[in-house]
Amino acid sequence: MTTMNSSRSTVLITGASSGIGKATALLFQQRGWNVAATMRSPDKASDLQGLDRLLPLQLDVTEPESIQSAIAQTLEAFGGIDVLVNNAGYGLMGPFENCELEQIRRQFDTNVFGLMAVSQFVLPHFRDRKRGTLINISSIGGRVTFPLYSLYHSTKWAVEGFSESLHYELAPLNIQVKVVEPGPIKTDFYERSADRQLKLDSDYQAFYERVMPKMNKAGQSGSPPEAVAEVIFKAATDKSDRLRYAAGKQAGFLLTLRKLLPEPLFYQFIRQILIR
């Protein structure tokens, strides 16, 4: 049976039904936090039901009413929110030209506008308490790009810019903004959490068939979601002014390479490992 405790710190996590979100919910719960583990279908997360201090809640980041309801239920159960982890998201893969406008809008509605909406609903609570930590789950794909992910990358680059600017304006209010940037992670991102554009024009078919298996292989050899959960916990608790946190064994390497190499050499590196 779930035991509520308002004297403990509380985290609200979006997209907590699987992968990084679920691993993060379990880690915070194991370390004594109250956890509002939100997701679109809580009934499908039976293994999260009944855990002490963990409350599975329905929240769809594209539906403002469900956001408000989940926040209200969290405040009623735990008395406050100390940390918000904006984790909900998925990847739209495939040649940009063949993606439908509805798919593009859904990608931005979830990964960008949904993240902004949840943040906007939680920030008044942080201001009232004169403290709080907002953690946005981006990706190395917010600073490095790969072929066939143009729309996913565009959302993560938006999250990076949004977060970096926001951290200036919230710092005077004692509200911290953190960005966690996972590299390849062994989750269902490449399967259930992906939206693949399979209606390909013939000009793109050979390129798609050459690149996508290499991208999938990178995901299969990635770090476990628990590794990202540890970084999220560190970002929530280290009391530093640090903005960005790389997560996963390949993330730091790729971000450092992107920073140090001249652009033509970095592009050549990406072509070499993914296209040729």
Is 259 an active-site residue? no
The C-alpha angle with vertex 234 and arms to 232 and 237, in degrees rounded to 5, equals: 110
Catalytic annotation, pick one of 149, 156, 190, 245: 156
- Own/partner long-range contacts of 53-60 (Cβ < 8 Å, ≥24 apart): 53/2, 53/3, 53/4, 53/5, 53/8, 53/29, 54/2, 54/25, 54/29, 55/2, 55/4, 56/16, 59/14, 59/118
- Residue 152 a catalytic site member: yes
Q: Which residue has the tokens 């970002």?
A: 235
| Among 152, 190, 208, 245, the one annotated catalytic | 152
String of DSSP letters for 63-80? -HHHHHHHHHHHHHHHS-
Is 234 noted as a catalytic residue in this protein? no
The neighbouring-strand residues paired with 118 are none
Considering the candidates 119, 138, 154, 163, report the single residue annotated as catalytic. Answer: 138
Active site residues: 138, 152, 156
